Structure 1
Amino acid sequence: MLKPLPPALTIVPPRRPLIGRVTPPGSKSITNRALLLAALADGTNRLTGALKSKDTVLMAAALRQMGVSVDEPDATTFVVTGTGRLAAPSGPLFLGNAGTATRFLTAAVATVEGAVIVDGDEDMRLRPIAPLVSALRSLGIEAEAPTGCPPVTVHGRGSFGRGRVEIDASLSSQYVSALLMAAPLGDGPIEVALTGKDIGARGYVDLTVAAMTVFGASVEQVDAGTWRIQPTGYRAADFHIEPDASAATYLWGAEVLTGGRIDLGVEAEDFTQPDAAAQAVLAQFPNMPAVIDGSQMQDAVPTLAVVAAFNQTPVRFVGIANLRVKETDRIRAVANELNRILPGLAREEGDDLVVASDPNLAARARPARIETYHDHRIAMSFALAGLLVEGITILDPACTGKTYPDYWEMLAGLGVDLRPA
């Protein structure tokens, strides 16, 4: 592979099963949680198996701006030393298009003494954060996001307060996780409660609670939509981060499309991340279910949709409205790019995505230049189409650096020919 990556890469279908061993990168979701919790702990923490990518680098940089020591002794380790509190940064925190870091820090900086601006790039400035800002205000924390999206200004008062905070999590479970992680820095118990039954990818809240517990937090689940957190603060801990289940979906997809066998060194059932549920769906290819509920494995939906293009029968994806407010509108992006490969291959119906499926697609040359919309998951999922369809070119392949910097090297290592286009 050429470094740096060219502006576009054409994938040459291997016409053989992909067989090999690949170690996926560490989980982005868990790495960013662990970085923040370690920064809020008093002492030195060693995080191993971590992901070093654009998103986690931005999180680490923001923590350093707030007085936290973040060392990187090797490619998969962070050593984080903090005092149990964050210091006011000298300037705004810039977090690119990292949704997890932006939402988590919007709540965490409320524990700083002073005003903090949390900002991102032009894409992040289109991603909603108003429900989280409203929740902070209900705790007496002064916060403003005039557009309902970043930038957010939070006037920290050194504590996260006390009492009950309600949150509408229908747009993102990250709002809940952000409140939960900041709550142990309150000056009394805090209850975090959902205002409705809808919550995007609830499994990620479970990841948050599990990580908080490792760092000494006391979290009680009162009922299905309420958590009570004690003001314990956090203690330093060593933490090993599991591989990224969302990254694993591309390998599972490559495996079923080519009839190969890719050993990840971990079984699907051993992941704690909700996207691992995609493996059971992919294993049914080419007879995937007619209806797939993507609500609890949202980041896996682009992978599933591209694989579904080669299924024996059409597939409808439901429960995916939240995909419209990810790095891009992923429902529209997936539909657009599938139709670029073959007109009529996909359509939007409300917030559902319907993939028409064509098992003969693999036998055709369908030259297509895939627009990735600065979205790593569009690039990585549509690369799978190039394993079977001749002429697939991925634009802006470097965008995969957001969560999987070695993605193209991984494919090349499995014997896939990638050519600058």
Structure 2
Amino acid sequence: MNAPLQSLSIEPITAPLKGKVVLPGSKSVTNRVLLLAGLARGTSRLTGALKSDDTLYMAQALRQMGVSVEQPDATSFIVRSTGALQAPDAPLFLGNAGTAVRFLTAASALVRGTVVVGGDANMARRPIAPLVAALQRLGIDATAPSGCPPVTIHGTGLLDGGEVEIDASLSSQYVSALLMMAGCSRRPVRISLSGPHIGAQGYIGLTIAAMKAFGASVASTDDTSWTVAPGGYTATDFRIEPDASAATYLWAAQALSGGDIDIGFPIADFTQPDAAAWRVIRSFPHMPAVIDGSQMQDAIPTLAVMAMFNATPVRFVGIANLRVKECDRTHALATQMQRINPGYAREEGDDLLVFPDPDPSATAKNVRIETYDDHRIAMSFALAALKIPGLSILNPGCVAKTFPAYWDTLRALGVRIHPGD
């Protein structure tokens, strides 16, 4: 087996990038429908799916819990389930897959027996206490002594229903996890926010749409509370849309190069929140002076790197949640920009300020970008390398988390990429 590449060097482009690319399926949708298919009695066929580290961790965990998950081709899963999850023989290891850890933490309450949900060293630093506290308020025996994974759940195989408030300011995934679990309750479950703030509200809509596709009934009178009716899920065939977060890198590459890149999917058809980044990207090089990233968090690394080449400075606000992603993305972005040019960026509280350089070709040479094992840091700084000579990306294999073909996709568009030293 070949050793993983330590770095990749990227040559600045000399011509507009043009071509047609195939985007991976949405990670967010794939991991939602994998779980829902696992909770549904019967056979579900999921097409257009993402096959990446995060989704393969979810698929393997479901197998450990007695669900049959087959992979007939590169973009499909066939899921067969009795509609009930079984206690696994060993802890569930989910790497640094936040969706998988949070969704399975809640779903494990439906298991009769003990489930331990954990991941790698990075996941052991990502907060999950608000979700655990909400499960406890529903009468579920769940503990996470450090406030982060691993989480131990002693399930009874039943969820009686009830009402629960949750603090979702750190992540909307907490709410999505409770919603999907609630579909299997014996009585209605009402979930409400304990405060007005929620990370990426749009992902709640994504969850509810997926639940309804699998037969669930979810009612809501506003954006702060939801009632899920009992009844469980029904197996179904589901087509997964392309990943909007992945699309942002291609939209940005097109804008930065003045090119023409066909992603093969109409922008108006995306239902994922990060698709909102398109409106900002198309304004380049006159991006807004203030960009609120609260509802398109995974697109912020893309937009921040683009801002290095904007006509005027940009302040990113509403991004406090970026500090508890795969890494502290705000600090990572600022630090790596400053290594290229000390004047490029600074942090102010939880805001990120980016100051363009009128002559990016005159910035520091031979900078090796630290990616912090974070796929979005790697993919976004590859965009900077399209304009700035001498940049290389460390640990390029981390893109396998959500976009395994990223480097090949850039090469197919004409970007020259070489193994680093």
| TM tier, smaller | over 0.9
Structure-2 residue corresponding to 1:413: 412
Structure-2 residue corresponding to 1:137: 136
Q: Please give the per-residue CA displacement for 1:52-109, whole angstroms capped at 9, x wherever unaligned.
A: 0000000000000000000000000000000111001001000000000000000000
Q: Partner of 1:86: helix, strand, or coil?
A: coil
Verify the 8 A CA contact 2:307 2:356 in the aligned structure 1: yes
Q: Describe how 1:208-357 pairs up with structure 2 within 5 A.
A: 208-357=207-356
Q: Describe how 1:158-173 pairs up with structure 2 within 5 A.
A: 158-173=157-172
In 2, Cα distance between the equivalents of 1:39 and 1:385? 41
Q: Please give the per-residue CA displacement for 1:287-319, whole angstroms capped at 9, x wherever unaligned.
A: 100000000000000000000000110000000
Question: Which residues of structure 1 form unaligned runs of 5+?
Answer: none
In 2, Cα distance between the equivalents of 1:144 and 1:278? 37
In 1, Cα distance between the equivalents of 2:241 and 2:358? 35
The normalised TM-score by structure 1 is: 0.98
In 1, Cα distance between the equivalents of 2:316 and 2:238? 35
Structure 2 letter corresponding to 1:34: V
Structure-2 residue corresponding to 1:152: 151
Structure 1 letter corresponding to 2:206: L
Q: Describe how 1:169-180 pairs up with structure 2 within 5 A.
A: 169-180=168-179
Verify the 8 A CA contact 2:301 2:376 in the aligned structure 1: yes
Verify the 8 A CA contact 1:310 1:362 in the aligned structure 2: no
Q: Partner of 1:32: helix, strand, or coil?
A: helix
In 2, Cα distance between the equivalents of 1:199 and 1:10? 38
In 2, Cα distance between the equivalents of 1:255 and 1:161? 51
Verify the 8 A CA contact 2:307 2:314 in the aligned structure 1: yes
In 2, Cα distance between the equivalents of 1:217 and 1:125? 32
Question: Which residues of structure 2 form unaligned runs of 5+?
Answer: none
Q: 1:103 to 1:300 in 2, by over 3 A?
A: same
Structure-2 residue corresponding to 1:359: 358
Q: Partner of 1:96: helix, strand, or coil?
A: coil
Structure-2 residue corresponding to 1:397: 396
Structure-2 residue corresponding to 1:48: 47
Q: Please give the per-residue CA displacement for 1:337-395, whole angstroms capped at 9, x wherever unaligned.
A: 11111112100000000001123214656321000000000000000001111101000
Q: Partner of 2:271: helix, strand, or coil?
A: coil
Structure 1 letter corresponding to 2:292: D
Which segment drifts farther, 33-42 or 3-12? 3-12
Structure-2 residue corresponding to 1:199: 198
- How much has 1:269 moved relative to structure 2? 1.8
In 2, Cα distance between the equivalents of 1:301 and 1:362? 23
Q: Please give the per-residue CA displacement for 1:219-270, whole angstroms capped at 9, x wherever unaligned.
A: 0013221101011100000000000000000000100000001001112221
In 1, Cα distance between the equivalents of 2:2 and 2:77? 25
Q: Partner of 1:348: helix, strand, or coil?
A: strand
Verify the 8 A CA contact 1:25 1:244 in the aligned structure 2: yes
Structure 1 letter corresponding to 2:215: G
Verify the 8 A CA contact 2:341 2:364 in the aligned structure 1: no
Verify the 8 A CA contact 2:340 2:363 in the aligned structure 1: no
Q: 1:364 to 1:101 in 2, by over 3 A?
A: same
2:92 matches 1:127? no
Structure-2 residue corresponding to 1:110: 109
In 2, Cα distance between the equivalents of 1:392 and 1:137? 48
Verify the 8 A CA contact 2:341 2:363 in the aligned structure 1: no
In 1, Cα distance between the equivalents of 2:65 and 2:209? 25
The normalised TM-score by structure 2 is: 0.98
Q: CA RMSD in A?
A: 1.1
Moved over 4 A (4+): 2-5, 362-365
Verify the 8 A CA contact 1:222 1:228 in the aligned structure 2: no
In 1, Cα distance between the equivalents of 2:227 and 2:205? 14
Q: Describe how 1:33-44 pairs up with structure 2 within 5 A.
A: 33-44=32-43
Verify the 8 A CA contact 1:200 1:295 in the aligned structure 2: yes
Which segment drifts farther, 356-365 or 380-389? 356-365
2:24 matches 1:25? yes
In 1, Cα distance between the equivalents of 2:2 and 2:303? 29
Q: Partner of 1:179: helix, strand, or coil?
A: helix
Verify the 8 A CA contact 1:127 1:149 in the aligned structure 2: yes
